[in-house]
Amino acid sequence: MDLLIATLVERPDLAPLLDRFPADSWPEFMYWDPVAGLHYGHVQQCYAEYTLVAVDRDQPEAAVAKAYSTPFFWEGKLPDAGWDRVVLVAAQDRLLRRTGNLVAALEITIRPDARGSGLSSIMVDALRRNAARLGHEELVIPVRPSGKHAEPATPMASYAARVRADGQPFDPWLRVHARAGGQIGAVAPLSMTIPGTLAKWRE
Protein backbone atom coordinates (compact mmCIF):
# COMPACT_ATOMS: atom_id res chain seq x y z
CA MET A 1 0.00 0.00 0.00
CA ASP A 2 1.40 3.37 -1.05
CA LEU A 3 0.23 5.31 1.99
CA LEU A 4 -0.28 9.06 2.28
CA ILE A 5 -0.97 10.47 5.76
CA ALA A 6 -1.83 14.16 5.98
CA THR A 7 -3.49 16.61 8.32
CA LEU A 8 -6.61 18.46 7.23
CA VAL A 9 -4.51 21.62 7.07
CA GLU A 10 -2.19 19.99 4.54
CA ARG A 11 -5.02 18.32 2.61
CA PRO A 12 -8.39 19.98 3.29
CA ASP A 13 -9.75 18.19 0.23
CA LEU A 14 -9.60 14.92 2.21
CA ALA A 15 -12.05 16.15 4.87
CA PRO A 16 -15.13 14.55 3.21
CA LEU A 17 -13.47 11.14 3.56
CA LEU A 18 -13.75 11.33 7.36
CA ASP A 19 -17.47 10.62 7.18
CA ARG A 20 -17.27 7.74 4.72
CA PHE A 21 -16.23 4.95 7.07
CA PRO A 22 -18.67 2.04 7.49
CA ALA A 23 -21.15 2.44 10.35
CA ASP A 24 -19.94 -0.82 11.88
CA SER A 25 -16.39 0.49 12.31
CA TRP A 26 -17.28 0.81 15.99
CA PRO A 27 -19.73 -1.04 18.24
CA GLU A 28 -23.12 0.69 18.25
CA PHE A 29 -22.88 1.87 21.87
CA MET A 30 -19.76 3.91 21.06
CA TYR A 31 -21.86 6.32 19.03
CA TRP A 32 -23.92 7.33 22.09
CA ASP A 33 -21.31 9.12 24.17
CA PRO A 34 -23.05 12.36 25.24
CA VAL A 35 -19.95 14.59 25.08
CA ALA A 36 -18.56 13.40 21.74
CA GLY A 37 -20.27 16.16 19.77
CA LEU A 38 -18.21 18.76 21.63
CA HIS A 39 -15.21 17.58 19.64
CA TYR A 40 -16.45 16.12 16.39
CA GLY A 41 -18.63 19.09 15.56
CA HIS A 42 -15.54 21.33 15.54
CA VAL A 43 -12.88 19.16 13.92
CA GLN A 44 -12.46 21.02 10.64
CA GLN A 45 -12.73 24.45 12.23
CA CYS A 46 -10.62 24.00 15.35
CA TYR A 47 -8.61 20.79 15.10
CA ALA A 48 -7.58 20.51 11.44
CA GLU A 49 -3.89 20.39 12.39
CA TYR A 50 -4.60 17.58 14.83
CA THR A 51 -6.70 15.42 12.48
CA LEU A 52 -5.01 12.87 10.25
CA VAL A 53 -6.36 11.11 7.18
CA ALA A 54 -4.61 8.15 5.56
CA VAL A 55 -5.26 7.16 1.96
CA ASP A 56 -3.80 4.63 -0.42
CA ARG A 57 -2.38 6.72 -3.28
CA ASP A 58 -3.52 4.03 -5.71
CA GLN A 59 -7.12 4.32 -4.41
CA PRO A 60 -7.44 7.92 -3.17
CA GLU A 61 -11.22 8.01 -3.32
CA ALA A 62 -11.56 6.41 0.14
CA ALA A 63 -9.56 6.75 3.34
CA VAL A 64 -8.07 3.61 4.87
CA ALA A 65 -7.60 5.18 8.32
CA LYS A 66 -8.25 8.35 10.28
CA ALA A 67 -7.07 9.71 13.61
CA TYR A 68 -8.38 12.52 15.77
CA SER A 69 -6.50 14.33 18.51
CA THR A 70 -6.93 17.55 20.45
CA PRO A 71 -4.84 19.94 22.51
CA PHE A 72 -6.06 20.49 26.06
CA PHE A 73 -4.79 22.28 29.15
CA TRP A 74 -4.13 20.08 32.16
CA GLU A 75 -1.74 20.09 35.10
CA GLY A 76 -1.03 17.32 37.58
CA LYS A 77 -2.39 13.78 37.56
CA LEU A 78 -4.27 12.88 34.40
CA PRO A 79 -8.06 13.02 34.80
CA ASP A 80 -10.00 10.01 36.12
CA ALA A 81 -12.71 10.80 33.58
CA GLY A 82 -10.26 10.15 30.76
CA TRP A 83 -11.71 10.61 27.29
CA ASP A 84 -14.79 12.57 28.40
CA ARG A 85 -12.79 14.94 30.55
CA VAL A 86 -10.30 15.64 27.77
CA VAL A 87 -13.13 16.55 25.39
CA LEU A 88 -14.84 18.75 28.00
CA VAL A 89 -11.61 20.56 28.90
CA ALA A 90 -10.75 21.08 25.23
CA ALA A 91 -14.20 22.60 24.68
CA GLN A 92 -13.64 24.90 27.64
CA ASP A 93 -10.23 25.84 26.25
CA ARG A 94 -11.89 26.92 23.01
CA LEU A 95 -14.31 29.19 24.87
CA LEU A 96 -11.54 30.69 26.99
CA ARG A 97 -9.12 30.86 24.05
CA ARG A 98 -6.65 28.98 26.21
CA THR A 99 -3.73 27.13 24.65
CA GLY A 100 -3.45 23.46 25.49
CA ASN A 101 -0.21 22.25 27.05
CA LEU A 102 -0.92 18.59 26.24
CA VAL A 103 -2.35 16.79 23.26
CA ALA A 104 -4.58 13.73 23.52
CA ALA A 105 -5.48 11.20 20.87
CA LEU A 106 -9.24 10.65 20.82
CA GLU A 107 -9.76 8.11 18.05
CA ILE A 108 -7.96 5.93 15.58
CA THR A 109 -10.19 4.13 13.10
CA ILE A 110 -8.98 1.62 10.53
CA ARG A 111 -11.33 0.73 7.69
CA PRO A 112 -12.53 -2.84 8.40
CA ASP A 113 -11.11 -4.33 5.19
CA ALA A 114 -7.68 -2.79 5.95
CA ARG A 115 -7.35 -4.15 9.49
CA GLY A 116 -4.55 -6.54 10.31
CA SER A 117 -2.12 -4.73 8.01
CA GLY A 118 -0.20 -2.82 10.70
CA LEU A 119 -2.02 0.45 10.05
CA SER A 120 -2.92 0.93 13.70
CA SER A 121 0.76 1.14 14.68
CA ILE A 122 1.44 3.49 11.78
CA MET A 123 -1.38 5.82 12.85
CA VAL A 124 -0.26 5.86 16.51
CA ASP A 125 3.23 6.83 15.35
CA ALA A 126 1.79 9.46 12.99
CA LEU A 127 -0.17 11.04 15.85
CA ARG A 128 2.97 11.07 18.01
CA ARG A 129 5.03 12.69 15.28
CA ASN A 130 2.32 15.23 14.53
CA ALA A 131 2.04 16.20 18.20
CA ALA A 132 5.81 16.70 18.35
CA ARG A 133 5.72 18.75 15.14
CA LEU A 134 3.16 21.04 16.77
CA GLY A 135 5.40 21.57 19.77
CA HIS A 136 3.96 19.09 22.27
CA GLU A 137 6.36 17.04 24.37
CA GLU A 138 3.81 14.38 25.27
CA LEU A 139 0.93 12.58 23.63
CA VAL A 140 -1.60 11.09 26.02
CA ILE A 141 -4.09 8.50 24.83
CA PRO A 142 -7.23 7.46 26.73
CA VAL A 143 -7.09 3.88 25.45
CA ARG A 144 -10.07 1.53 25.39
CA PRO A 145 -8.50 -1.97 25.56
CA SER A 146 -9.93 -3.86 22.60
CA GLY A 147 -10.23 -7.24 24.32
CA LYS A 148 -11.68 -6.13 27.63
CA HIS A 149 -15.29 -6.82 26.62
CA ALA A 150 -14.53 -10.55 26.70
CA GLU A 151 -13.84 -10.28 30.45
CA PRO A 152 -16.53 -7.99 31.88
CA ALA A 153 -15.99 -9.21 35.45
CA THR A 154 -12.24 -8.53 35.45
CA PRO A 155 -11.32 -5.18 37.05
CA MET A 156 -9.83 -2.83 34.48
CA ALA A 157 -6.67 -2.28 36.53
CA SER A 158 -6.00 -6.03 36.66
CA TYR A 159 -6.73 -6.48 32.97
CA ALA A 160 -4.55 -3.55 31.90
CA ALA A 161 -1.61 -4.77 34.01
CA ARG A 162 -1.64 -8.29 32.57
CA VAL A 163 1.34 -9.12 30.39
CA ARG A 164 2.38 -11.97 28.13
CA ALA A 165 5.49 -14.12 28.57
CA ASP A 166 7.48 -11.62 26.50
CA GLY A 167 6.56 -8.79 28.87
CA GLN A 168 4.24 -7.08 26.38
CA PRO A 169 0.66 -6.21 27.42
CA PHE A 170 -1.87 -9.00 27.07
CA ASP A 171 -4.39 -6.75 25.35
CA PRO A 172 -3.63 -6.28 21.63
CA TRP A 173 -4.52 -2.56 21.51
CA LEU A 174 -2.47 -1.81 24.62
CA ARG A 175 0.34 -3.77 22.98
CA VAL A 176 0.29 -1.45 19.94
CA HIS A 177 0.78 1.56 22.20
CA ALA A 178 3.49 -0.12 24.28
CA ARG A 179 5.45 -0.95 21.14
CA ALA A 180 5.23 2.72 20.17
CA GLY A 181 6.90 3.64 23.45
CA GLY A 182 3.77 4.30 25.49
CA GLN A 183 3.39 3.59 29.18
CA ILE A 184 0.22 3.08 31.20
CA GLY A 185 -0.12 6.12 33.43
CA ALA A 186 -3.32 5.19 35.24
CA VAL A 187 -6.73 3.65 34.84
CA ALA A 188 -9.47 6.21 34.12
CA PRO A 189 -12.55 4.58 35.70
CA LEU A 190 -15.00 7.22 34.42
CA SER A 191 -13.69 7.47 30.88
CA MET A 192 -16.29 7.53 28.10
CA THR A 193 -19.30 7.11 30.36
CA ILE A 194 -22.24 6.21 28.15
CA PRO A 195 -25.53 6.41 30.08
CA GLY A 196 -28.70 4.60 29.08
CA THR A 197 -31.62 2.66 30.46
CA LEU A 198 -31.28 -1.09 30.92
CA ALA A 199 -33.75 -1.57 28.08
CA LYS A 200 -31.64 0.62 25.82
CA TRP A 201 -28.46 -1.24 26.65
CA ARG A 202 -30.19 -4.57 26.01
CA GLU A 203 -31.29 -3.22 22.63
| Total domains, the chain | 1
Q: In what order do the strands lie in the sheet with 139-140?
A: 3-7, 51-56, 59-72, 102-110, 139-140
In-domain check, residue 160: no
Q: Find the distance separating the first CA and the last CA of the chain, reported in whole Å.
A: 39
User: SS3 string of 152-166?
Assistant: CCCCHHHHHHCECCC
Phi-psi domain of 167 (left: phi exceeds 0; alpha: psi -120 through 50; beta: other) = left
**Structural domain boundaries, residue 49:** 3-142+188-202
In-domain check, residue 85: yes
**Could you list the pLDDT tens digit for every one of the 203 residues in the chain?**
889 999 999 999 999 999 998 877 888 888 899 999 899 999 999 999 999 999 999 988 889 999 999 999 999 988 889 999 999 999 999 999 999 999 999 999 999 888 888 999 999 999 999 999 999 988 999 999 999 999 999 999 999 999 999 999 999 999 999 999 999 989 998 899 999 999 999 98
In-domain check, residue 52: yes
In-domain check, residue 98: yes
Round to whole Å and give the CA distance between 67 and 50: 8
In-domain check, residue 169: no
**CATH number where 7 lies:** 3.40.630
